[in-house]
Amino acid sequence: MSALDTVKSLIPHRPPFLFVDEIVSESADGLVAKRTWRADESFYEGHYPGAPITPGVLLCEAVFQTGALFMARQAQTAGAAPGSGVPLLSKINDVRFRTPIYPGDTVVIEVKKKEVVAGFTMMSGNVKRADGTRVLNVDFTVAWKTPEGQQAQQ
């Protein structure tokens, strides 16, 4: 199974809205992933023409998807069936952007579990360039749920 297939087996996100390429490492309290931002991605056409930069909201989404991968691995370890729910973001706070990311850049995404309260997992996340330069930090909370009306993955 390829690195991307492993990611796709754990979370429901799919291209063009999948912003994690591979899992690099994992532990009981966190997960590290990677993403290379490709110049042919359509959002660069409008953000910004002639001077493309990766939208901050998509960098945050890469962190949230890495958090979903961490939660899916935890659920898998606990014996949950694959595809038994989806990650629902419930809170975002203290986002700090430090340096831009451009087409072709590879980033390392790290999430760490802070605590779990009443079914909500509080995490911190960060993105760094491959050379270690800090890109962003964010704290967020996620619940793993089966929403009403959810259709099965195909």
Please confirm, yes or no, whether 13 is among the known catalytic residues: no
Of the candidates 109, 113, 135, which has an alpha carbon nearest to the alpha carbon of residue 124? 113
Strands 134-145 and 120-129: antiparallel
Q: Which of 8, 34, 47, 114 is catalytic?
A: 47
Angstrom CA distances, 86 to 6, 132, 133, 140, 144, stand at 16, 31, 31, 16, 6
Strand partners, 134: 128
Distance CA 149, CA 147 (A): 6
Active site residues per annotation: 47
